[in-house]
Structures are given as structure tokens and as C-alpha cells.
Amino acid sequence: MARAATCAFVLALAAPAAQAQGLPDPLTDLPGDASRGRAIVLDQPRSLCVLCHAGPFPEIAFQGNIGPDLSGVGDRLTLPELRLRLVDSRRVNPDTIMPPFHSVEGLVRVGTQWKDTTILTAQEVEDVAAFLASLKGPSE
């Protein structure tokens, strides 16, 4: 119960502030490239995205439904908001099932070969964020 209360507290205080701001500053000097981002998203072993998310990706036969459909996500979230969710979705929702793609904070028992590495590099986050921001309108 104590842990649940703590989580509720964090959720109540931290989440709205983080949601409102997102991460306005790019992580890299090189601007995000939407076409590179698309390739990363569709490369399931590399980015894992389509394991859990569906989206306007006709070439992917099996798309997951654990997370929200990415169709039109560029209408729903701004680039800073997308960047924040990619870097560490826990800063929006502490209970999210979405892994932190560019943070090692608080991780437990990480495998030797993955220790102190992130799922995506800073540049990959920028590219994927640029691609997701470009997903406007209804599903293609």
C-alpha cells in the first residue's frame, strides 16, 4: 500500500508537468530525419516498436496491439511530447509498460551485454520522433 500511495503521489504531481512540456530541445545537433526514422520503426529487432504498436506500415504483416496505434500520432502529440515519450515514457506515466528507449535510470539486473546502453541512440530517438511527428491524418 505504501508503494501504491507513493506511485499515486508521483503520478499526481510529476506527470502533468512533464506531459505539458515534453522535451523541447533536440538530443543531437543533426536534425531528426523522418525517412531514417521510418526505417528504424519498421526494423523490429532493432527498435522493437512494431512488436507492440500498429501503424500505417502496410509492409509489416504482424503488428502488435499492446501500445496505442501510431496512425495519426503526429496530430495527437507534438515533437517535444514524442521525444519525451521515446526517451522515457515513465516521465509521463510511471506505470507505463513502454520501455525507456533512451534512459538507464532505475533499471534493475540489466544483462551484461546491454549494461549501460540504451535501446535507441540519441540520433535514433531524433529520427524516430521526426517520423512519428510526420504521421498526420487518418491511417494511410
Partner 1 sequence: MIRCVTVLAIGLGTPAAAAGDRQSGYEIMGPELRAMQDDEAANPGMLWVTEGAALWVAPEGAANRSCASCHGDAAQSMAGVAARYPAWNEAGQGPIDLTGRIGLCRTRHQGAAALARDSRALVALAAFVTRQSDGLPIAPDPDPRLAATREKGKALFETRMGQLNLACADCHDDAAGGQLAAATIPQGHPTGYPQYRLQWEGMGGLHRRFENCMSGVRAEPFGAGSPEYIALEAFLMSRAAGLPVEAPAVRP
Per-residue x/- marks for partner 1, 19-38, CB under 8 A? --------------------
* One residue of 19, 44, 121, 134 binding partner 1 per CB under 8 A: 44
Minimum CB separation from partner 1 for residue 78, in Å? 25
Residue nearer to partner 1 on the CB measure, 8 or 30? 8
Residue 52 CA to residue 75 CA, distance in Å, equals 20
Residue 48 CA to residue 30 CA, distance in Å, equals 23
Residue 91 CA to residue 100 CA, distance in Å, equals 9
* One residue of 21, 35, 117, 139 binding partner 1 per CB under 8 A: 117
Q: Judge whether 137 and 75 are in contact, CB under 8 Å.
A: yes
Q: Of 56, 96, 49, whose CA–CA distance to 72 is shortest?
A: 56
Q: Of 101, 126, 93, 92, whose CA–CA distance to 20 is shortest?
A: 92
Q: Point out which span in 21-29, 57-65, 76-84, 121-129 binds partner 1 (CB under 8 A).
A: 57-65
* One residue of 13, 20, 61, 138 binding partner 1 per CB under 8 A: 61
* Binding to partner 1 in span 96-115, by CB under 8 A: 97, 99-100, 104, 106-114
Q: How many residues does the chain have?
A: 140
